[in-house]
């Protein structure tokens, strides 16, 4: 079963950067992930010594920024069902949906007045239900 690790780098980029990347790369190409609700994840590594090794092991550095891995995304071999494992206690079940009309990701450069096509999305993964416990 193909899988890809998900980090909050996408969220940090969305809120703190010019690039605004909000996609996840999957075997189907870059894919939009739609989650009903909020993901509450730390934006930086805990600075105190009381953090457990398990918590600290979820953090890594990329280009000088803290990144936290909050889950693991798996997609079924038939590319129809997706499961997002959040931490060790919850999982979300979702569906892979082919978009009726593909979406283009455009990057606007206000200084030069140009628009650059970044990507085309043909699929999104929709998680509609509440998280289920991992047994």
Query: Would the pTM of this model clear 0.75, i.e. be above it?
Result: no
Are the beta carbons of 70 and 7 closer than 8 angstroms?
yes
Tokens of 1: 């079963």
Q: So where are the chain's domains?
A: 3-133
Q: Which helix (H) or strand (E) holds 73?
A: strand 65-75
Query: To the nearest whole number, what is the mean pLDDT of the chain?
Result: 74
Are the beta carbons of 125 and 31 closer than 8 angstroms?
yes
- The 10s digit of each residue's pLDDT in 84-129 is 887 777 888 999 999 999 888 777 777 877 777 777 888 999 998 8
Spell out the residues 6+ positions from residue 65 whose beta carbon is closer than 8 angstroms to its own.
9, 12
Measured CA to CA, the distance from residue 12 to residue 5 in angstroms comes to 16
User: Among 6-10, 70-74, 106-110, 113-117, which is the least confidently predicted range?
Assistant: 6-10
Displacement of CA 4 from its chain's centroid (Å):
10
């Amino acid at each position: 079963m193909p899988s890809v690790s998900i980090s909050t780098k996408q969220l940090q980029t969305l809120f703190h950067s010019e690039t605004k990347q909000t996609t996840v790369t999957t075997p189907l190409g870059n894919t939009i992930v739609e989650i009903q609700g909020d993901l509450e994840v730390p934006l930086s590594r805990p600075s105190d010594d009381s953090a457990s090794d398990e918590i600290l092991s979820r953090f890594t550095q990329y280009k000088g920024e803290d990144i936290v891995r909050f889950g693991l995304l798996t997609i079924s071999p038939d590319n129809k069902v997706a499961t997002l494992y959040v931490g060790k206690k919850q999982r979300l079940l979702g569906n892979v949906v082919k978009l009726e009309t593909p979406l283009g990701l455009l990057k606007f450069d206000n200084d030069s007045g140009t628009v650059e096509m970044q990507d085309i999305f043909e699929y999104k993964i929709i998680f509609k239900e509440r998280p289920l416990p991992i047994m």
